[in-house]
Structure 1
Amino acid sequence: MRKIICLLSMLLTTQLYAQNNRDFYFIKLYHFNEANQQKITETYLQQAWLPAVHKKGIKQVGFFTPVGNDTALQKKLYVLIPLSSLNDLYQMDDALQKDEEYLKVAAPYLNAAYNQPTYNRIETFVLRAFTDMPRMEKPVLSGPVQERVYELRSYEGATEKLYRKKVEMFNQGGEIKLFKRLSFNAVFYAEVLSGNRMPNLMYMTSFDNIDERNKHWKAFGDDPEWKRLSGLEEYQHTVSKLDIILLHPTSYSEF
C-alpha cells in the first residue's frame, strides 16, 4: 500500500510539474510598406538582435514570411521567440539596452529617422503552451528549406467559456494526440494571454512542402477519431473565427 501511495504521489507531482512548467512564447509581427524597410529590419534581426539574445540564453528563434510575401502589397515578418518565463520578456529588452556590441551593430535600425521608419507597425502576442505539449519542439523535416511550409492557425472564441472548451478539446479531448499520430510536426500549441483579438488560441504545424500540407489535412478530415471528436455536442460552436497563415522560414530561421 505504501508503495502504491508513493507511486501515486510521484505521478501527481509529475503532472503538476508539467502543468506549471510550460513554455511561454512571444510573437512579433512586423508590417512593412516598402521592401527596403523589410531589408533593414531583417539585417538588424539577423546580425544584431539574434546574436544578442543568444548570449542571454534564448535559443531556437523562428523567423517566417507569409507564402506569397514577395508579391504582396504589404509585407510581413513573423518572429517566434520561446521563453521559459514571462520574466525573460522584460529582462531580454533590459539586457539589450546594456549590450554595447548590440547597440553598435543595431544602430542603422535603432536610429532610423521619424520620416523613414524601418517598419509600418508591430503587433505582439504573448502565449502560454498547452498542458499536453508544454514545450516547443523543433520539427523533423527533410524537404528543401525554401519549400517548407509552417502553418500558423488562430482560433477565436465567441465567449470565454466556448474558448475554454476548445482548449479542452485540444488537451483532454485528444486533438493534440490526433495531430501527433498523423505526423503534423507541431511546433507549439498555446493559449494567447495577450493579443489584439481575444479570447484566442494559436498553434503551428509544419510540412516539407505545400502538397504534404494538403495531404495531411485531407487525412485529418477523413480520420474517424476527428469525425467522432468534432461531432460531440460539448465541442460545438467553440470557434467563432479561424485564421490560417501559411509561412516559409527565412534563411536565418532556427526552425
Structure 2
Amino acid sequence: MNSKIIFFICSLFLYMSSLAQSEIYELRVYDMKFGVSEATLHDYFKDALIPALNREGLNKVGAFEESGESLPKKIYLLIPYESMQAYAEINDKIEQDGKFLSDSEAFSNLPVDKIPFERYESRLIRSTWGFPNLVKPDDALNQFELRIYESSNEDALRRKLKMFNENEFEIFENVGLHTVFFGKNISGGQMPSLTYMLAFKDKAEHEKAWAGFGKNPEWKRISKLDEYTNTVSDITRVFLKTLPYSQL
C-alpha cells in the first residue's frame, strides 16, 4: 500500500480516536436581574437540576459566581459530559425524569417578574488530546480563573490549540497553574475560541504561578516561534468563586 495512503489512514484513525475520547463541557452563564432574589435559582440548581444530573452519573457539576461585584451579576454552571452523545441522551432523559419535574415545579411555575435571570447563554466546549479530562481540584483550591482566548480565524485557533497540546500544559504543571478543564469552543459566542479554567488557593499563589509562567525558559522559546505568532486576538478573564453546592 502506498506510504501516503498509510499515513493518511493512521492520521485519520488518530483523529477519530481523539474525538471519541473528547469530553464535552456545557458552560452556562446566567445574567441575573437586578433587584430580584436569586435564591430560587440556587434552590433549583441545588435541589433539582444537579441531583438529576448526578442520577445520570455526572458528579462534577461546578457552580460559581464572580469574585468581584460586577453588574449585572452572573452565575456560572459547568456541566461535564463524557461525549456529545451523552450530552444529548442525558438531557433527553432529564426532560422525562419525574423526580426532576417534581423537584423543579416551584421554579418552573415562578411568575415572570420573579424569574431571577434575564437569559442564559450555553456554550459547548470539546476537550483536546493534550488535556482530555476534567480534573477536580483539591479542596484547598476554591478560587478559579476562567479564560477565553479568541482567535482571528480557524487557522489561528488551530495553531494556538497545538501550542497548548504540545507545550503549554506541561509548563502550566511545572509552574503551579492547576488546570481544571480545557477545550475548543464548538458553539456559543466569541467564536472561534478556546476556553479553560484554572484553580488556585489565593491571589498570592495565583500571581506567583503566572509570574513563573512568564519567566519559564520553554515558554520564552515557544512564544517566539513563527508558527505561533498572531494566534490570539483577544482574551476574556473572569475570576470566580464556588457556590456552596458546587461539586468542584
TM-score (ref. length: structure 1) = 0.87
Helix, strand or coil at the partner of 1:187: strand
1: CA distance between counterparts of 2:236 and 2:14? 35
1:111 deviates by: 1.4
Q: CA RMSD in A?
A: 2.0
Contact kept in structure 1, 2:60 and 2:80, CA below 8 Å:
yes
AA aligned opposite 1:154:
I
* 1:20-169 aligned within 5 A: 20-34=20-34, 36-68=36-68, 71-142=69-140, 148-169=142-163
Q: Does 1:218 align with 2:218?
A: no
Q: Does 1:182 align with 2:180?
A: no
- 1:192–1:201 contact (8 Å) kept in structure 2: yes
1:42-67, Cα deviation, whole Å (9 max, x unpaired): 11000111111111111111111111
Measured in 2, the distance between the counterparts of 1:120 and 1:54 equals 26
Q: Which residue of 1 aligns with 2:246?
A: 253
1:243 to 2:236 alignment: yes
How much has 1:72 moved relative to structure 2? 3.0
Structure 2 alignment gaps of length 5 or more: 1-12
- The answer to whether the Cα contact below 8 Å between 1:128 and 1:190 also exists between their aligned partners in 2 is yes
Measured after TM superposition, the shift of residue 116 of structure 1 is 3.2
| Aligned AA (2:59) | K
CA contact (8 A) 2:33 2:116 kept: no
| Structure 1 unaligned residues grouped into runs of 5+ | 1-12
2:204 is aligned with 1:193:
no
Of the structure 1 ranges 43-52 and 15-24, higher mean CA displacement relative to structure 2 is found in 15-24
Corresponding position of 1:10: none
1:7 alignment counterpart: none
Deviation at 1:223, TM superposition (A): 1.0
1:163–1:239 CA contact under 8 A, matched in 2: yes
Aligned identity (percent) is 31
CA distance in 1, matches of 2:35, 2:88: 30
Number of equivalenced pairs: 237
Q: CA deviation at 1:157?
A: 0.4
Secondary structure in structure 2 of the residue aligned to 1:251: coil
**Equivalent residues of 1:112, 1:118 under 8 A apart:** no
Change beyond 3 A, Cα 1:86–1:35:
farther
Instruction: Report what 1:3 is aligned to.
Output: none
1:35 and 1:228 map into 2 onto residues whose CA distance is 50
Following superposition, the deviation at residue 112 of structure 1 comes to 2.0
Report the alpha carbon displacement of residue 182 of structure 1 after superposing the two structures with TM: 1.7
Change (3 A) 1:23 1:245: same
Distance 1:154 1:112 in 2: 33
Distance 1:109 1:43, change over 3 A: same
**Alpha-carbon distance in structure 2 between the residues aligned to 1:154 and 1:240:** 11
Which amino acid in 2 is paired with 1:96? I
> CA 1:229–1:86 in 2, change beyond 3 Å: closer, same or farther?
same
Provide the residue aligned with 1:8 in structure 2: none
Distance 1:94 1:111 in 2: 21
Contact 2:185 2:192 in 1 (8 A): yes
Distance 2:154 2:16 in 1: 24
Q: Partner of 1:9 in structure 2?
A: none
* Change in 2 beyond 3 A, CA 1:37/1:193: farther
Letter in 2 for 1:107: E
